[in-house]
Structure 1
Amino acid sequence: MKAEDYAESAALVTEECTKALKAIEPEKVLEYLEMLTVARKVFFVGVGRVLLSLEAMAKRYAHLGIDTVIVGQITEPAITKDDVLIVGSGSGETMFPAGIAGKAKAIGAKVIHIGSNPNSGLKDVADLFVRIPVESRAKAPDEIHSEQPMTSLFEQSLLLFGDTTALMLVREKHLELDKLWEYHANLE
């Protein structure tokens, strides 16, 4: 290992993330934001590192005044037909999020799948599919290849998608950044 390996690796990661974010269909992003802003509550479900990215998204959206819930938290309320469930799953085949999506849909909630695989079982459940077309376990031929291990690019892109859409909401609603601190945790 050499000192320049860090700069080279950082460049690779950021270039891959930029390519992935630019590959997301802007029209789908606008549909996504519309569904988010009209929902009473926005629920999030995923597992592993995807869940970590979703938790960061939920926190940021909460800073913008959106009522967010992570599925499985002890204080999780009931989902209703006025709510949206965001499912993060690159393959769309992860058992727990797929099962929760089916249950939410049966209750009447809207389901948004953010993933890579357009042919997953979630295609029959999701009201909206936002595709981050990066390499996943599905290994679709049109996926963006990554030099990073496993599905790191999906998790990173998901996190950055959350921050990108949060910025879009800030600009659309003309929110004053200094006033957002009222939504920030204050028991720290």
Structure 2
Amino acid sequence: MKTTQYASEIINELNRTIELLAEDQAEKLVDQILASKKIFVAGAGRSGFMAKSFAMRMMHMGVEAYVVGETITPGLEKDDLLIIGSGSGETKSLVSMAEKAKSLDASVAVVTISPESTIGRLSDVAIKVPAKPKAGTDNEYNTIQPMGSLFEQSLLLFYDAVILRLMDQRKSESGAMFGKHANLE
């Protein structure tokens, strides 16, 4: 296959995956973000990169959003929300974060392949991304892509769709977000 044919197949896979997302759970996440004082995001590896991009867009919207582990991230409190992106829902460091957040009476949301996972069971909101796990048993969601690529790409698209929904709910426009965009570049 040629490079462009691979790209077309990736787009087809993303379309199939996004069409299977549960809209009711996505709306619960949007509502939880709007109801929370501060938003914290976390993920390991490439999922963490997707979380960082989500936090950046929320910041552009004026939402108080932080990336767990950054030096300027404040403490999580009762009225806050921790959003975790984890394909397996079993990454030890992320499980510990979810447990800690719950012990502080904060809300937890997860975007995952496995809502029945440890993090999924700890979460107030669990959004299932129907994708193939990077390791372990196969499932019905076939992909030509290596490891967790389909999940990670779907995660980014889902996060961007949540931003658009938040913008709609808050009656914000893209142009207004530039005021919070980096200007020392």
Task: Please tell me the TM-score bracket, short chain as reference.
Answer: over 0.9
> TM-score by structure 2 length?
0.94
* 8 Å CA contact 1:91, 1:138 repeated in 2: no
Deviation at 1:139, TM superposition (A): 3.4
Residue among 26, 38, 57 paired with 1:29: 26
**Over aligned residue pairs, what C-alpha RMSD do you find?**
1.4
Residue among 92, 103, 124 paired with 2:100: 103
Residue among 73, 77, 85 paired with 1:76: 73
Q: For residues 42 and 86 of structure 1, do their structure 2 counterparts lie closer, same or farther at Cα, with a shift above 3 Å needed?
A: same
Q: Whole-Å Cα distance in 1 between the matches of residues 137 and 15 of structure 2?
A: 20
**Runs (5+) with no aligned partner, structure 2:** none
Percent identity over the alignment is: 32
**Runs (5+) with no aligned partner, structure 1:** none
Deviation string, structure 1 residues 147-178 (Cα, Å, up to 9, x no partner)? 10000000000011111111122223221322
Structure 2 counterpart of 1:139: 137
Deviation at 1:138, TM superposition (A): 5.3
In structure 2, the residue corresponding to 1:187 is in which secondary structure?
coil
1:176 aligns with 2:173: yes
Deviation at 1:118, TM superposition (A): 2.3
Q: Whole-Å Cα distance in 2 between the matches of residues 35 and 13 of structure 1?
A: 31
What is the count of residue pairs matched by the alignment?
184
Q: Whole-Å Cα distance in 1 between the matches of residues 5 and 87 of structure 2?
A: 26
1:153 aligns with 2:144: no
Deviation string, structure 1 residues 38-64 (Cα, Å, up to 9, x no partner)? 111110111100000110111111111
* 8 Å CA contact 2:115, 2:121 repeated in 1: no
